[in-house]
Chain A
């Protein structure tokens, strides 16, 4: 029995591709003020502010996982991502990705990772993406045959055959983003970091990019995704890590996040008589639209839907009612404001 447990533990250890322990990052920033007088004063004296971007986070990620790293702006998720990619040095803590310490063995390490930043382009603006791909071939020393095979398969998957020979500046945002993915994945990295990869894209482009990510993930590539688009999370991630104020406030499967809301419904109701909902256990007022119309939150573990309907009918007679699930955004929002 003990032998089996040890075996399972060992197997899990082998599968772990990213291990983060007590990771902290503190950086200095300066308060320069906003008025002219404060700006002049800042020439001689600046107030130093120490920001604790990460306050000691721990997590592990297994090979082939697709994990979403969520958090409000300034929560520390981009800092975590930059440390994981070897771009930033942490203040303290341990990180191991595929056995490498990213900031210590940067050159060796980054040969095995890919990254797409929704707001930073790796493509060269004035020349076609194909030339940028060729630069990557030289950077990663990809043999011609492998380069051609990889490129052909990705061009087909993303349907960009007709655009890779056009100058990058003439491409739409969606077309450019597809090419950014090819840039990041041409060398077949084992781990890919995505920082808001669908920002600003239309639904068709988003869908195409999401399918591409799913395809790559199904071949064993591990993905770490940071995004504010919960559509990305719902369609791609099985596991979610939420960072807020430099700390992990949630780390579980997406199903676990849904469990937070399975007992809650949102009800929009119109009655023929004015109704007061105050003081009823299980009911929270979201928005009072008029004395006859309101949007309510109902905790069905405290009051069943039929009990709620009976109660309203007795008090004010229902004219119209709609019941819907609490959107996942609400749970995320709650985690963000905690």
Chain B
């Protein structure tokens, strides 16, 4: 047995996992740079689409209305963080949905199964997209403007923010995995993404504006507020009670998504030869 085959035989190490991910990013950039004009245009269009909600917020506040208990910069910070999270998730995780959708329909998921590696990770690294770099940049800009106009956060708040931002990415990756897993059973279900889009819209506003019941639903049951509201409120020092329950629920969601992926993957039937 070749030495490197022995290494693969032993299973993937964390270093190999990271190396593969870096390779995936490099390949995604190289592939996307082939169509430079299209890359720039689609980055710009994606950014414009994601700027609509912050623009509405701006119009609401400049017309004298507001979200009770939240000033314009605090709301913009939530929406800026939402853009960053979504941008990162779109870049690294959500391509998995389309990749799984097309590879299951066309039978090319066979090729993923032929790799000595986690099918989920292989699907992710071959679906990294750079189109959302514009959204990430836009999110950073909006968050920067908001923070510039708000009191500087303390170190504890910044550390708390980093922790909850990572949890936020975990929630997004969980959604991406669950959506991807469904297409093993419901082959060609391209509307699955729209359901997610419709649900996550609630993550762009301060959760305190929702009714108590709905707030519990989007914080503890399906932790959508974790995507932006909770990390932003921690950074602002306005964290509500129960955020650790939301973090726990996010971990549960993540574990559930992995279980669902593995169960659904067994339903893969390939295509006729």
Contacts and interface: CB of A to CB of B under 8 A. Distances in A.
Contacts of A286: none
A106 B113 contact: yes
B116 A138 contact: no
Nearest to A88: B270
A74 B110 contact: no
Interface string A107-146: 1101111010100101011110001001100111111001
Interface stretch (A78-86, A217-225, A263-271, A298-306): A78-86
A87 B116 CA distance: 12
Interface string A218-239: 0000000010000000000000
A111 B117 CA distance: 9
Contacts of A113: 114
A111 B30 contact: no
Contacts of A110: 113-116
B216 to A, nearest CB: 36
Nearest to A71: B273
Given A79-B273, A120-B111, A138 B19 contact: yes
Contacts of A88: 268-270
A27 interface: yes
B154 interface: no
A24 interface: no
Interface string B109-126: 011011111100010000
Contacts of B30: 126-127, 131
B8 interface: yes
A139 B273 contact: no
Interface residues of A, number: 42
A146 B2 contact: yes
B110 A120 contact: yes
A126 B272 contact: no
15 contacts: A79-B273, A87-B110, A87-B268, A87-B270, A88-B268, A107-B118, A111-B5, A124-B31, A126-B30, A127-B31, A138-B23, A139-B115, A140-B5, A143-B3, A187-B4
Interface of B: 1-5, 7-9, 11, 16, 19-20, 23-24, 27, 30-31, 34-35, 107-108, 110-111, 113-118, 122, 266, 268-270, 272-273
Interface of A: 27, 74, 77-79, 81-82, 85-89, 106-108, 110-113, 115, 117, 120, 122, 124-127, 131, 134-135, 138-143, 146, 167, 187-188, 195, 226
